Amino acid sequence: MTEIIKVDPENPDSEILKKAAEVIKKGGLVVFPTETVYGIGANAFNENACRKIFKAKGRPQDNPLIVHISSIDMLYDVVSSVPRIAYEFIDKLWPGPLTLIMKKKSNVPDIVSASLPTVAVRMPSHPVANLLIELSGCPIAAPSANLSGKPSPTSFEHVKDDMMGRVDVIIDAGETPLGIESTIIDLTKDPPVLLRPGPLTLEQISRISEIEVHKGALGEISLDKPPSPGMKYRHYAPEKRLILVKNMDKMKAVLRNFNDPIVICPKEHKEMYKGYKVLALGSLEREYSIAHELFKILRETDKMKGEVVVVEGFPEKGILFSVMNRLKKAASEVIE
């Protein structure tokens, strides 16, 4: 039986959240909002509790989790050493949608790090997430609260669809503000390596340090031992076949191949697809709206009739680089 706890996303009541914190303390699973997407969390030091996350999601155990903290003291509890460059990222970008990979302490269970010597850590800025971690008195290991492979959840409704009956508590705090998972940087390499683009763009993080871009950040998924979530497996995918069209000169030919395609495009291009079922994915004038709407729109396609989803590609820069990373991971086929 899953209990639902509703809280104010901006000013959560600590008395209400204490119920969820007690569940974490006792080794249970709690779904909670962050500024990026909803996460399914457990005490990061409790191996048995963390194993429940993988079972609830149907997640492969070689896919590491992100450890969420609410203070720098907690960071020292989970990492064995903090590189000097880490403090520059922490000072400028924490709390926020940035995950840093560092060498882990031995008290972090292997199930959390996929048996790697490193651990992924972030300090969320969402008031509910931050207070839940603080009240729990421990770091919380949490991947996105969706069934493995599906689009990440950005609202209570998405979480309810995927996680009712699979977790102990779901915290309902409305929609998440950003709608796309955190940026991940590996600080065990020199220079640091971008493993997953997110709300903090390559351009933004490059102002702090020279950054290399891992091929996994470009949307490739062929890694044997992924150092961070979202690199090895097909992710973010709707149930329908998804075709990503990067070469717009081929769009008409692609659409002619199917009887009843669902088209996803920015709202400025809707008029180009008269006669088709069209879902508007944000606006090119407000590029962050495209990231915010992405997973919600992909989930909507599963409620519609039609055998295939055809998505317009975007220029791979800024936040749209992050959007394209997700679309490439979700796609059955990419038309270059």
Q: How far apart are CA 163 and CA 149, in angstroms?
A: 14
Q: Which residue has the higher pLDDT, 216 or 279?
A: 279
pLDDT for the residue numbered 63: 87
Q: How far apart are CA 161 and CA 41, in angstroms?
A: 17
CB 146 within 8 A of CB 39: no
Tokens of residue 273, six digits: 């697809």
Residue 190 burial class via C-beta count within 10 angstroms: exposed 0-12, middle 13-18, buried 19 and up: exposed
pLDDT for the residue numbered 229: 60
Q: Is residue 83 predicted with pLDDT exceeding 70?
A: yes
Q: How far apart are CA 25 and CA 15, in angstroms?
A: 15
CB 282 within 8 A of CB 292: yes
Neighbours of 106 (CB within 10 A): 8
pLDDT-based confidence at residue 235 (cuts at 50, 70, 90): confident
> Which stretches of 57-168 are assigned E, i.e. beta strand?
66-68, 98-103, 118-122, 140-141
Tokens of residue 30, six digits: 């709690």
Buried/exposed code over 220-248 (b: 16+ C-beta within 10 A; e: otherwise): eeebeebbbbbbbbebbbbebbbbbbbee
pLDDT-based confidence at residue 216 (cuts at 50, 70, 90): confident
pLDDT-based confidence at residue 149 (cuts at 50, 70, 90): confident
Tokens of residue 33, six digits: 């909002």
Tokens of residue 181, six digits: 């998972």
* CA-based torsion, 59, 65, 68, 74: positive or negative: positive
**Mean pLDDT confidence for 92-105:** 98
Bridge partner residues of 99 (DSSP): 184
User: Taking Cα atoms as reference points, which of 142, 18, 118, 136 lies closest to residue 68?
Assistant: 142
pLDDT for the residue numbered 218: 85
**Mean pLDDT confidence for 291-299:** 97
pLDDT for the residue numbered 41: 98
3-state secondary structure of 124: coil
* pLDDT digit string, tens, across residues 194-214: 999 999 999 999 999 999 999
3-state secondary structure of 286: strand
* pLDDT digit string, tens, across residues 33-42: 999 999 999 9
* pLDDT digit string, tens, across residues 236-250: 889 999 999 999 999
pLDDT for the residue numbered 236: 82
Q: Is residue 253 predicted with pLDDT exceeding 90?
A: yes
Residue 19 CB contacts under 8 Å (≥ 6 apart), including other chains: 3, 5, 169
pTM reported for the whole predicted model: 0.94
Domains, the chain, ordered by start: 3-218 (3.90.870.10), 241-335 (3.40.50.11030)
Q: Which residue has the higher pLDDT, 230 or 267?
A: 267
Whether the bond between 95 and the residue before it is cis, its omega within 30 degrees of 0, is yes
pLDDT for the residue numbered 119: 98
* pLDDT digit string, tens, across residues 106-147: 999 999 999 999 999 999 999 999 999 999 999 999 999 999
Q: What is the mean pLDDT of the chain?
A: 94
Residues above pLDDT 90, as percent of the chain: 90
| N-terminal to C-terminal alpha carbon distance within the chain | 47
Tokens of residue 209, six digits: 């340090």
